[in-house]
Chain A
Amino acid sequence: MATTTPGPQTNRLGLTLNDYKGAPSTLCAGCGHDAITGQIVRAFYEMGVEPHRVAKLSGIGCSSKTPAYFLNKAHGFNSVHGRMPAIATGTMLANRQLIAIGVSGDGDTASIGMGQFVHLMRRNVPMIYLVENNGVYGLTKGQFSATADIGSTLKTGVANDLPPVDLCALAVQLGASFVARSFSGDPKQLVALLEAAMAHRGTALLDVISPCVTFNNHEGSTKSYTAAKELDMPLHTLGFIPAFSPIEAEIVPGETRVVDMHDGSKVTLKNLSRDYDPTSRAGAMATLMESSGKGEFLTGLIYVNEQQPDFISALNLVDEPLATLPEAKVRPGKDVLDKVMESLR
């Protein structure tokens, strides 16, 4: 009797999970960043994104190495420390049809790159901006970053005495249109957030706590696996239903909130301990402040605004990529030059 070996599973493009993978990671074994990489691979696979349409960008640091570890068939750009937002902005100006994902770290974003981070959020450049946040500098061997909590200690026992930068609160204040927090140890939530981020039109900030196994995974660290697991306070149970899915959302009135994404996808938020409305900016701000006061580590979709125009739409650019417009569209004729010359006589 003949037997058939089932082929690997494929997505709507007929691609396998392997088609979304990158080079082998050179990060420390057990690094939270590698777990996130795995979820990025899964999210792009599940969304059925054509790999060549993706531009993956980063700055400098452990986190910024990760674009090499996913989506081999996408163009990647490991730029300079803290300046990835500007590179991404230029890239999207040149080709609005790309899907940009930027991966940064807490040093890359909250210290050297703070200026560019702030302006990326203000501009609402269409991209996913993922911060792999571990509160510590890995590549320079273990200094505090600007997101380290007060009282958190280094391996040497030195305690941090400065308040942390809360990237989510900052982003909400700046007018960012999609702000979420997650944990590298919660793949289900992270994949749903990544997929929702892909469906969003504008900057989607994902602040993902990603423990550093080498320098910040000890007792006394507030960004260790143990601490993150203990303190994790999900706002809701997240689900994501892509626009192309035939599945209907199960909506229990009073329990589940649905956010309609711009592309027709839906994010479902099943209430947990509180009734949370992620479309309220003031509510998001208040909740973040309240939680940080209690030392909670709040995760979930914190704020979303599907009405806000993204940067490229606001500039009223043509639909096709500027980068490949034909000469006839970008080069005014001699009549224009003659007219300008006449005005200067």
Chain B
Amino acid sequence: MAVTISAAGAGGRLGGDPVVNDFSIQVATVNGSGSQSANLVLLRSIFRMGIPVSGKNLFPSNIAGLPTWFTIRVNKHGYIARKAQNELVVAMNPETIVQDEAALMPGAVFIYNSDLKFTPSRADVVAVGVPFGSIVASTCQEAKLRKLVTNMVYVGVLAQLIGIELDEIEAALSKQFKGKQKAVALNFDAIKAGAEWAKGNLSLEVPYRLERMDRTQGKIIIEGNRAAALGCLFAGTTVVAWYPITPSTSLCENLIGYLEEHRLDPETGKATFGAVQAEDELAAAGMVFGAGWAGARAMTATSGPGISLMNEIVGLAYFTELPGVIFDVQRVGPSTGLPTRTQQGDLLALYHASHGDTKHPVLIPATPQEAYEFAYQAFDLSERFQTPVFVMLDLDLGMNSWMADPFPYLDSPLDRGPVVTADALSRRVEAAPEGAKHDVFGRYRDVLGDGIPERTLPGTPHPLAAYFTRGSGHTSEAKYSEKPEDYTWLVDRLARKHETARKHVPSPVEDWRGAEVSIVSYGTSEHAAQEARDLLAEQGISTNYLRVRALPFAQSVKEFVKKSRRVYVIDQNRDGQMHDLLRLEIDPADAPKIRSIRHYDGMSLDAMSIVAPVLEMEKH
């Protein structure tokens, strides 16, 4: 039987020493069949054994009936990017079983539902037929409940085959069903039945084993959208206006859930937040910036098509200088594109969102902790700079399960920006010389020369507080003007403000090793990139690394390119958007150094998609 080392180096093999804590499991099921619970229990049981894991859900744009896959990567080194191939595959879906078998890597273990009309045909894999129907019938007396627990049987079979501890499975079940004892018992019975069946009927030893480690102690499992929602919660968000769109929906749903739990006034029981499901993204954005104008911390979350609709109001907010935070959980576009697949295709659309001369801060988290921290920071930046701030996630980060350290409590005071109160106006009037008492505040003045103006909030009880907000050309005093010099002064000040923001957005993560080869990534490419660097190092190619964490680029990004010999820029989009943006902003003399690596099939990036092209290009 052929023995092959997998592309990512964590090979499957039969007959040799077992591979411990370094493989992937994929489960193929039917959308809507309730497999998610079984998959999360599987993930969490392994996590509870102290072994690093990550989980990715590959699902169709459909409610029920279409194929769906869930992949768990187990990796003792902590690699969490997707692997292109899986060592263990569970096939429960009659529609895809032939394709699932065909895609197996040599040496894989193929656990399939033997109740399906299917005969295994691969000689280079281990096929294990499991009679799910009869196992479930033996453990679950009530026929109507059997469908609900069928998927749990494969958890049990896997537990027996690769060594998942039943105690940890039971604990994971308790968590999954939030202590509902009857549901826990019903599901645990099915799992035990699966394990018993495997014990009694399978004499083979599969070459993949789990062994308890201590690398998950104290850690959490969380999706990026939930992490971002927590950032919003602790940043004191008070207005949420949103329109449901995959894959951003769970961000607002989680946030609203947390707000309802933690943001009722203890004395009155009344809400200290307002959440509105808007009629569309145009309205959601309008509500956010209306609330921002009036002084509230406001946010929305959407995906690419929603960003398109919000563009008009984003341009207005940029020009009139209104705060508001927009999360873009990217999917594959344009239009509907692949709505349940991942991409980083909105980078340029966010940076230059809207018409005319516009540029916005864009924060780009790679991990749940960064999603949490950048969400928090986005509100500070938005109010300080009085401008829309985007936080760019993607489906991979937003909707998949990630292992993380518990988040720190961010205790720096909220930065509400330069808001001038009625008391401050009174003090200024008092201090002003005669003849200048009516001139103590101008909405768009460049007070400190950094491009940042001051604002008063509607409702401020002072006769000098009011100003008029308009998308038309205006002066530093917020008066209507079409004079060329007023307009150029205004947009030049906005550019100055953007330059100031450059120093305040999250700085890049950098690892300079003086190597020949440099790699630049952003967002979720981080995980595949770090694994790729290790794999390249094994091939004798050391790499410098920089991960962009925000736009505008920090000065150090240009310097990194300047001191590099060759730079590979990794993009999860067809046209290499970061590659192009970088070339626009660096010293033109450095442009020939830059090479583009692009991954855009809708699947999250895997290490080999970086390693292979780097090796290929390094040959030349």
Spell out A's residues near B (CB within 8 Å): 50-53, 55, 67-68, 72-80, 83, 85-91, 93-95, 97-98, 115-116, 118-119, 312, 315-319, 321-325, 327, 329-332, 334, 336-338, 340-341, 344-345
How far, in whole Å, are A52 and B275 apart by their CA atoms in the complex? 26
Q: Is the CB of B222 within 8 A of A344?
A: yes
Give B500-549 interface residues, CB cut-off 8 Å to A.
Answer: none
Which residues from A are CB-within-8-Å of B268? 318-319
A83 to B316, CA, bound (A): 11
Of B268, B294, B295, which is in contact with the most chain A CB atoms at under 10 Å from its CB?
B294
Whether the Cβ atoms of B458 and A88 lie closer than 8 Å is no
CA gap between A342 and B348 in the complex, in Å: 38
B559 at the interface (CB under 8 A from A): no
Return the contact of B409 from the options A86, A337, A344 (Cβ within 8 A).
Answer: A337
List of 10 A-B pairs having minimum Cβ-Cβ separation, nearest first: A86-B286, A90-B290, A323-B295, A94-B296, A94-B294, A330-B236, A75-B458, A90-B291, A87-B290, A90-B287
The contact of B459 among A53, A119, A336, A344, by CB within 8 Å, is: A53
Q: In the bound complex, do residue B230 and residue A51 qualify as a contact, i.e. CB atoms below 8 Å apart?
A: no
Whether, in the assembled complex, B457 has its beta carbon less than 8 Å from a beta carbon of chain A, the answer is yes
Q: Are B414 and A327 in contact (CB under 8 A)?
A: yes
- B460 on the A face (CB < 8 A): yes
CA distance A95 to B296 in the complex (A): 8
| A334 cross-chain contacts in B, Cβ below 8 A | 409, 411
| Partner among B237, B297, B471 whose Cβ is within 8 Å of the Cβ of A80 | B471
Of the 9-residue stretches B15-23, B105-113, B276-284, which lies at the interface with chain A? Answer: B276-284
- A318's closest neighbor in chain B, by CB? B270
With A317-B270, A330-B236 in contact, do A93 and B283 touch (Cβ < 8 Å)?
Answer: no
List A contacts of B288 (CB < 8 A): 90
A-B contact count (CB 8 A): 226
Chain B, Cβ-Cβ closest to A86: B286
- Which A residues are CB-close (under 8 A) to B468? 67-68, 75-78
| Complex contact B459–A52 (CB within 8 A) | yes
- Minimum Cβ distance to chain B for residue A313 (Å): 10
B residues in contact with A319, CB < 8 Å = 268, 270
Which residues from B are CB-within-8-Å of A76? 466-470
Among A315, A318, A321, A336, point to the contact of B262 (Cβ < 8 A). Answer: A336
Task: Known A-B contacts: A80-B312, A94-B296. Give 8 more (CB < 8 A).
Answer: A77-B470, A89-B283, A94-B293, A95-B458, A323-B457, A323-B459, A324-B295, A340-B230
Could you tell me if A75 and B463 are in contact, using CB atoms closer than 8 angstroms? no
Which listed residue (A72, A94, A331) contacts B239, Cβ 8 A? A94
29 examples of A-B residue contacts, CB within 8 angstroms:
A52-B461, A52-B462, A68-B468, A75-B459, A75-B466, A76-B466, A76-B468, A76-B469, A78-B468, A80-B313, A83-B282, A86-B287, A87-B287, A89-B290, A90-B296, A93-B298, A94-B296, A119-B278, A317-B270, A318-B268, A318-B272, A321-B459, A322-B239, A329-B265, A330-B236, A330-B272, A332-B234, A340-B230, A344-B221
B263 and A330 contact, CB distance less than 8 A: yes
Chain A interface, DSSP helix/strand/loop, else mixed? helix
Q: Are B471 and A337 in contact (CB under 8 A)?
A: no
Is B220 located at the chain interface by the 8 A CB criterion?
yes
Q: Are A88 and B290 in contact (CB under 8 A)?
A: yes
CB distance from A340 to the nearest CB of B (A): 6
Chain B's closest residue to A345 (CB) is B220
- Contact A98-B480, Cβ < 8 Å, known A93-B296, A325-B238, A337-B234: no
Q: State in angstroms the CA–CA spacing of A95 and B276 once bound together.
A: 15
Q: Which of B236, B273, B282, B465 lies in contact with A52, CB distance below 8 A?
A: B465
Which A residues are CB-close (under 8 A) to B414?
A: 327, 331
Q: Write out the residue numbers on chain B whose beta carbons fall within 8 Å of the beta carbon of A97.
A: 459
Interface size range of chain B in the complex: 35 or more
Q: Are B265 and A98 closer than 8 Å at their CB atoms?
A: no
Q: Is the CB of B283 within 8 A of A80?
A: no
Residues of B that sit less than 8 Å from A by CB: 218-222, 230, 233-239, 241, 258, 262-263, 265, 268-276, 278-280, 282-298, 312-313, 316, 406-407, 409, 411, 413-414, 456-463, 465-472, 480
Given A87-B290, A90-B294, A91-B294, verify A327-B236 contact (CB < 8 Å). yes
B275, chain A: closest CB distance, angstroms? 8
Report yes or no: B283 in contact with A86, Cβ–Cβ below 8 A. Answer: yes
**Is B467's CB under 8 angstroms from A332's CB?**
no
CB of A322 within 8 A of CB of B458, answer no
Are the C-beta atoms of A75 and B274 separated by less than 8 Å? Answer: no
- If the complex has contacts A72-B466, A91-B294, A322-B238, are A83 and B457 also in contact, measured as CB distance less than 8 A? no
Residue contact A94 to B295, C-beta cutoff 8 Å: yes
Which residue of chain B lies nearest to A321 when distances are taken between CB atoms in the complex?
A: B459
Inter-chain contact B292/A79, CB cutoff 8 Å: no
CB of B551, distance to nearest CB on chain A (Å): 25
Is B466 a contact partner of A51 (Cβ separation < 8 A)? yes
Return the chain B residue nearest A89 by Cβ: B287
* Residue among B239, B459, B466 making CB contact with A90, cutoff 8 Å: B239
Residues of B near A327 (CB, < 8 A) are 236, 413-414
Q: How far is the CA of A128 from the CA of B59 in the complex (A)?
A: 47
Q: Give every chain A residue within 8 A of B413 (Cβ-Cβ).
A: 327
- Chain A residues in 8 Å Cβ range of B467: 75-76
What residues of chain B lie closer than 8 Å to A323, measured between beta carbons?
238, 291, 294-296, 457, 459
A75 CA / B464 CA spacing, docked (Å): 10
Separation of A183 and B32 alpha carbons in the complex (Å): 58
* B409 nearest CB neighbor, chain A only: A334
Contacts A116-B283, A330-B238 given; indicate if A87 touches B289 (C-beta within 8 A): yes
Q: Do residues A52 and B233 form an inter-chain contact, with CB atoms below 8 A?
A: no
Given contacts A87-B289, A90-B292, A323-B294, contact A77 B238 (CB under 8 A): no
Residues of B within 8 A of A68 (CB): 468, 480
Bound Cα distance from A79 to B220, whole angstroms:
44
Which residue of A has the minimal Cβ distance to B315?
A: A80
Q: Considering only CB atoms, which chain A residue lies closest to B406 in the complex? A: A341
Q: Which residue of B lies closest to A76 (CB)?
A: B468
Given B263, B265, B279, which contacts A115 in the complex, CB threshold below 8 Å? B279
A residues near B287, Cβ cutoff 8 Å: 86-87, 89-90, 93
Closest residue of chain B to A122, judged by CB? B279
Q: Is the CB of B291 within 8 A of A79?
A: no
The residue that A83 contacts in the complex, of B241, B283, B291, B297, with Cβ under 8 A, is B283
Q: Which residues of A contact B275 (CB under 8 A)?
A: 315
Within 8 Å CB of B480, what residues of A?
68
Q: Are B274 and A317 neighbours in the complex by a CB distance under 8 Å?
A: yes
Question: Which of A89, A94, A312, A317 is B286 in contact with, Cβ under 8 Å?
Answer: A89
- Distance of A185 Cα from B265 Cα, bound (Å): 49
Q: Are A93 and B279 in contact (CB under 8 A)?
A: no
Question: Is the Cβ of B239 less than 8 Å from the Cβ of A79?
Answer: no
- When chains A and B are docked, how far (Å) is the Cα of A79 from the Cα of B294? 14
- For residue B230, which residue of chain A has the nearest CB? A340
A80 to B297: give the CA distance in the assembly, Å: 21
Docked-complex contact B238 and A74, CB < 8 angstroms: no
Q: Which residue of A lies closest to B265 (CB)?
A: A318
Contact B313–A83 (Cβ < 8 Å): yes
The docked-state distance in angstroms from the alpha carbon of A331 to that of B469 is 29
Cβ-defined partner of B271 (8 Å) among A51, A73, A316, A321: A316
Contact (A337, B457) CB under 8 Å given A52-B466, A331-B236: no
Closest Cβ neighbor of B266 among chain A residues: A329
* A94 and B270 form a contact (CB under 8 A): no
- Which chain B positions have C-beta within 8 A of A95? 294-296, 457-459
Q: Report the nearest A residue to B219, measured CB to CB.
A: A345
In angstroms, Cα B282 to Cα A72, docked, is 29
> CA of A51 to CA of B275 in the docked complex: distance in angstroms?
28
For B290, give its contact among A91, A118, A331, A345 (CB under 8 Å).
Answer: A91
Cβ of B469 and Cβ of A90 under 8 Å apart? no
